[in-house]
Structure 1
Amino acid sequence: MPTVVSVGSAHATTPQAAICASDKPELAEKLSEDINSALDGASATTAISLHDRTTNTTCALDADRKFDSASTVKVTVLATLLWDAQKDDRALTQEERDRATAMITKSDNDATTALWNQLGAAKVNAFLLAAGMTNTVLDSEGHWGLTQITANDEEKLLQLVTHANPVLGEDSRAYILKLTGEVIPSQRWGTPAGAPGDAQVHVKNGWLERATNGWRVHSLGAFTGGDHDYTITVLTQDNATMDDGIANIEGIARAVHENLNAPAAGARP
């Protein structure tokens, strides 16, 4: 049974503690401390969910809070497209591949809208049900960027992408990892900050400013290759600027990467 450690934070708008559990009690304790230290002084509302399979470590903070998805929903759109094609036993068309590439690697909104309209809400909802993403809710007026997401549901999606499962086949998972590994340099901020140099980095970020709750700034990351096998989701809102949100996420990410890749962290008990 993994040891569970909760360390309180003085963070104003996210008062809950980051709770970590691990087969390595010292790792859980240090990771909780460092995540909360990264949160101290930040003004954003923050949700976190992460999972490292190598050490059987998980951490969560306010992970069922709902946020506007912004562009992070584009991974769900791609997964739905591939899942739907699987059911028909067909490959993606060239047009679909072109749109998927633009949607993920450059966060192209027009490509996303085209795929979203092609799929329709019914197919997206069917995928969410199959994926167990039961707290994700589509916008009633059809705005994909206002899909309500949670850190826990995004972690479920990342787990489907990174490990064999009955929902997404091997080719579908490989394609998602390929595109999220080819995101343009200017959009590779967030959860990749501090990642080890030998890790294969897969990322999709989202950012959106609205009249209420300031900037939403989110980052989904998967880290594979070598001995690395972990995923990180950080969702934030109430950021005064986009840069504030990025800094918040990157402080958390550095704490996670440092702890999970410390010399003793990856060794089996």
Structure 2
Amino acid sequence: MLLGAAAWKLSGPDASEPGRAPVAAPSNAADLAPEPSPSPTASASPTPRPVDRGELAKAIEKAVKGDARVSVSVSDLTDGTSYTYGASRRFVTASIVKVDILAALLLQAQDRGRALTASEKSLATRMIENSDNAAANALWSAIGGAAGLAKADRRLGLKETTATSVSWGLTSTSARDQVRLLNALVSGGGPLSKRSRRYILGLMSQVDTTQDWGVSAGAAAGDAVALKNGWLPRSTDGGLWVINSIGRIKGDHDYSIAVLSDRNPSMDAGVALVETVTEAVLDGLS
């Protein structure tokens, strides 16, 4: 059930993010610990399940209303099954880029052989759990802005994400690249240490209850969820809304999923679209 948006705004250029009425959010950081890197003697990966891509595309298109656009990408780490719709589409990130900013900060700290400072940890908590824009501004400056994010993204394997010095929230990305980022948080073998990956997923598993919407709609009872959402009315689109949601859902399967959308007539309409698409895709894959 969707609840109305509260009437408050966060500061920042073209980056207002109204809150939403509370819903329950699980505290499940321990269940979302990154998987260890596979050993050389590990058994062969399971065979990906067949995917009816035509039926999934029909379900997604049925959910889209008016001029809204949507793209979704999902990867199941349990067996390698994957699906992407709207692969060529690019969207501004709004606040989902805050996960990327934190990953960049942690990579820089790792390179210098140090842990995050108490101040950096406080800013990171506010940025991820509360989607605080002032905290994001501070950490954006700390990583070196757009250049720092771009350098980290190359190391993380992001191929379709472009930062801009205008605003971190106007970074452009694809659903497919956001799944690459999520998989870099979950799987070993990438540039992020296990400790760094665990730290990011832990914060994502404890987002403020007012922000527990989006891809969490696809979780079954007992699943562990880590997510980050972004919401932004675009002045360049006449006030139409960008609504994005990325996250990990770990239960019988281990999904990394990103649903990005724009040109939504309202925040509620965009959230409804993202949640409907999430449910349709995960139902289709299962």
TM-score (norm 1): 0.82
Find out whether 1:238 has 2:263 as its counterpart. yes
Letter in 1 for 2:71: A
Q: Does 2:140 match 1:152?
A: no
Matched, 1:219 2:245: yes
Cα distance per residue 1:63-95 (max 9 Å; x no partner): 232211100100000100111111111110000
What is the CA-CA distance between 1:36 and the residue it aligns to? 2.8
Say if 1:164 and 1:170, in contact at 8 Å, map to a contact too. yes
Match of 2:278 among 253, 256, 268: 253
Q: Which moved more, 1:237-246 or 1:132-141?
A: 132-141
Q: Which runs of 5+ in 2 are unaligned?
A: 1-46
**2:163 paired residue number:** 138
Matches within 5 A, 1:192-203: 192-203=216-227
Determine the C-alpha separation between the residues in 2 that align with 1:85 and 1:137.
22
Kindly provide the amino acid, as one letter, of the partner of residue 65 in structure 2: A
Structure showing greater relative contact order (alpha-carbon pairs closer than 8 Å, 6 or more residues apart): 2
Q: Which amino acid aligns with 2:135?
A: A
- Which residue in 2 is equivalent to 1:114? 138
Superposed CA offset, 1:29-55 (max 9, x none): 1x7524532431523101111101223
Query: C-alpha deviations, 1:178-197, integer Å up to 9, x for none?
Result: 00000011101000003112
CA contact (8 A) 2:71 2:89 kept: yes
The structure richer in strand per residue is 1
d(CA) in 1 for partners of 2:106 and 2:160? Answer: 21
SS at match of 1:215: strand
Measure, in 1, the Cα distance between the counterparts of 2:101 and 2:130: 15
TM-score (norm 2): 0.78
Cα distance between partner residues in 2 of 1:74 and 1:88: 21
Query: Aligned pair in 2 of structure 1 residues 85, 73: CA closer, same or farther (>3 Å)?
Result: same
Q: Letter of the 1:201 partner, please give it.
A: V
CA deviation after TM superposition for structure 1 residue 151, in Å: 1.0
Q: List per-residue Cα deviations over 1:17-40 (Å, max 9, x = no partner).
A: xxxxx8332xx11x7524532431
The one-letter code sitting in structure 1 at the alignment partner of 2:280 is A
Deviation (angstroms), 1:119: 1.2
**Unaligned stretches of 5+ in structure 1?**
1-21
| Structure-2 separation of matches of 1:37 and 1:244 | 17
Q: Give a deviation string over 1:200-235, Cα, whole Å, max 9, x none.
A: 1000000000123310000001012x5331111010
Q: How many residues align?
A: 235
Change (3 A) 1:166 1:256: same
Q: Does 1:61 align with 2:61?
A: no
| Equivalent position of 1:39 in the other structure | 61
Give the conservation status (yes or no) of the 8 Å contact 1:63–1:151: yes
State whether structure 2 residue 204 is matched by structure 1 residue 180. Answer: yes
CA contact (8 A) 1:69 1:206 kept: yes
* Structure 2 counterpart of 1:74: 98
Q: Distance in 1 between matches of 2:193 and 2:57?
A: 34
The aligned counterpart of 1:92 is 116
Structure 2 contact 96–229 (Cα < 8 Å) conserved: yes
